[in-house]
C-alpha cells in the first residue's frame, strides 16, 4: 500500500491485533497506526460508493459480475467517489456474505491451475494496476545521445588499423565496408564511442611501441 | 511465479538451501524442485539473450538505461529469445557488479518516498505486467441479458400499485413517469427484473389479503 501511495487501511474483525507491530513495514508505520478496525464489513465500507471484492478464478459459483484486473482496475479508476477493494483472509478468501456487499468482483489473471495467490502479493498486484500508467508503456526509451557519424568513421579507421597491425585482415576495401557496418550495428551512444576510440588508440600505441622497441 | 505461469527459477549462490522446503508454496513444488543454483550470475544467465535487472528508484547513480515497468514489460515481451529478470536480495538488491551483466534496468513505479519493495511482491508485480493482457482492459463487461421493456413496464405498474396501496403517493401521471425513469436507472438484468416482479406481487398479495380479512 505504501509503495503505491494508498493509505486507508481498514480491517474487519481481525483475529490478531498484532498487525500493528508488523516489523518489516519499515516505512509503513503511518498506515498501520492509522488503520481502522471495524466489527463488520458493512461498517468498514459504509462511506464507500463502490465496493469491489477480490477472488481467485472459479473458487465458487459466483453470483456477481467477475472482471479481470485489467478491466476492473480501469473501472475503479473511473469511479467518481471512494472505492473499497476487499481482500479476504489468506486461507479462505472472502465469504459469500462478504461478497454480497460488493458491486462486482475482481480477479487477478492467474493461470487456471494455480489461481489462489498470496495475500500480500495480491494486494501489490491490484494496487500496481491502479497506479499503472498506460502512457508510460508507449514512452520512447530514455533520450540518448547517439554517436555522430564522424566518430564512427574515426572508430572504423582505428579498428581497421588495429586489425591490420594485428595481422587479422588485409586492408581491403570490402573489409572496410564490413567493419563500417559492424560498427553501425553496435548502435553506440556518444559516450561509448569515445570509450572505444580511447581503447583502440591505446592498442595502437602499444603496437607502435612494441614495433619501435629494439628486439633482441 | 506459479500463479502467472513462469517456471524457470534460478538462484545465484543462495545463502540458504532451505528455500526448497518452502512450505507455503503449496502448488509451486515443481518450480522449487526444478530450481537451479549457480555459483555466479554470469553462469545463471549464460543462455539468455536479454538480461534485465530490477532496482528501486534512485537507489544509486545508475549507469544503465532505467525503464518503468510499463515500458520495460513491453520490451521484454517483444524480445525474441530467452530473457532473464534479475532480483537482488531482500536487503541489498542487486550489486553494481550484478547490474553490469544487464542490458538495462527496470523499476516498478513506486512512489518516491517509499521505493523499495518486498521481494515477493516485486516479483508478483513484474510477472503480472508480463502476462497482463491490454486487450482485456478494453473488453466490454461480461455479457448480460438486460431486462426487456415489457418486464420493466410491468414492474413500474406493480410498484405503482404497491405504493398506491401503501398510501405513498396518489396515482398521478407525473408520479408514474418518475417511477418509470427510476426503474430504468436501476439497469436491471432479466433475472433481477423477475425477482423484483415476484417481490412486488407478494407485497400486493399481502395488501389484498389484509384488506380482505375481517377486521375486529
Cβ atoms of A149 and A157 closer than 8 Å: no
- Considering the domain delimited by A10-138, tell me its CATH architecture: 3-Layer(aba) Sandwich (3.40)
Q: In the predicted model, what is the mean pLDDT of residues B67-89?
A: 94
Residues of B with CB under 8 A from a CB of A: 2-5, 24, 27-28, 65-71, 73-74, 108-111, 113-118, 120-125, 128-129, 131-134, 136-139, 141-142, 144
CA dihedral over A10, A15, A21, A22, signed as positive or negative:
negative
Phi then psi for B31, rounded to 5 degrees?
Answer: -60, -45
Q: How confident is the model at residue B129 (pLDDT cuts 50, 70, 90)?
A: very high
Predicted pLDDT at A216 = 46
Residue of B22, B121, B127, B138 best to disrupt the A interface, most CBs of A under 10 A: B121
Alpha helices for B149-189 (secondary structure H): 149-166, 173-185
| DSSP for residue B141 | P
**Do A53 and A64 meet the contact criterion of CB atoms below 8 Å apart?**
yes
**Which of A71, A111, A139 has its CB closest to that of B137?**
A71
User: CA-CA distance, B25 to B34, in Å (whole number)?
Assistant: 14
For the full predicted model, state whether its pTM sits above 0.95: no
B128 to A128: CB separation less than 8 angstroms, yes or no: yes
Q: What does the pLDDT average to over B154-176?
A: 84
Contact call for B124 and A129, based on CB within 8 A: no
Distance from CA of A209 to the nearest CA of B (A): 33
- The end-to-end CA distance of chain B, in Å, is 73
Q: State the pLDDT at residue B22.
A: 64
Task: Give the helix/strand (H/E) hosting B52.
Answer: strand B50-54
C-alpha cell, A119? 495475500
Checking ipTM against 0.85, whether it exceeds it is no
Q: Cell 498484532, residue?
A: A18
Which H helix or E strand runs over A11? Answer: strand A10-12
Chain A interface disruption, residue of B26, B125, B186, most A CBs within 10 A:
B125
How far away is chain B from the Cα of A20, in angstroms, using its nearest Cα?
Answer: 18
pLDDT digits (tens, 9 = 90+) for B4-62: 999 999 999 887 656 666 655 667 888 888 889 999 999 999 999 999 999 986 655 56
Q: Are B3 and A110 a contacting pair, CB within 8 Å?
A: yes
Q: Give B55's DSSP letter.
A: -
Per-residue pLDDT of chain A (216 residues; tens, 9 = 90+): 999 999 999 999 887 656 656 655 667 878 888 889 999 999 999 999 999 999 986 655 567 888 999 999 999 999 988 999 999 988 889 998 899 899 999 999 999 888 889 999 999 999 999 999 988 888 665 567 888 989 999 999 999 899 888 888 666 778 888 889 999 988 888 889 999 999 999 999 998 888 876 654
Amino acid at each position: 500500500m505504501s509503495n503505491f501511495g494508498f493509505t486507508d487501511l481498514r480491517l474487519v474483525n481481525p483475529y490478531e491485533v498484532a498487525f500493528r507491530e508488523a516489523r518489516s513495514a519499515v516505512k509503513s508505520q503511518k498506515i498501520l497506526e492509522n488503520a481502522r478496525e471495524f466489527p463488520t464489513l458493512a461498517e468498514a465500507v459504509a462511506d464507500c460508493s463502490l465496493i469491489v471484492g477480490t477472488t481467485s478464478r472459479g473458487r465458487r459459483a459466483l453470483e456477481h459480475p467477475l472482471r479481470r484486473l485489467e478491466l476492473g482496475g480501469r473501472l475503479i479508476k473511473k469511479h467518481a467517489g471512494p472505492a473499497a477493494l476487499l481482500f479476504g483472509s489468506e486461507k479462505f478468501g472472502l465469504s459469500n456474505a462478504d461478497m454480497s456487499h460488493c458491486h462486482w468482483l475482481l480477479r487477478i489473471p492467474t493461470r487456471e491451475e494455480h489461481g489462489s495467490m498470496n495475500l500480500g502479493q495480491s494486494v501489490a498486484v491490484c494496487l500496481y494496476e491502479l497506479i499503472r500508467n498506460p502512457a508510460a508503456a508507449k514512452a520512447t526509451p530514455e533520450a540518448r545521445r547517439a554517436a555522430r557519424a564522424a566518430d564512427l568513421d574515426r572508430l572504423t579507421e582505428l579498428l581497421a588499423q588495429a586489425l591490420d597491425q594485428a595481422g587479422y585482415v588485409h586492408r581491403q576495401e570490402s573489409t572496410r565496408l564490413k567493419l563500417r557496418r559492424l560498427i553501425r550495428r553496435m548502435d553506440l551512444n556518444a559516450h561509448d564511442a569515445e570509450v572505444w576510440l580511447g581503447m583502440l588508440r591505446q592498442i595502437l600505441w602499444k603496437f607502435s611501441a612494441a614495433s619501435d622497441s629494439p628486439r633482441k
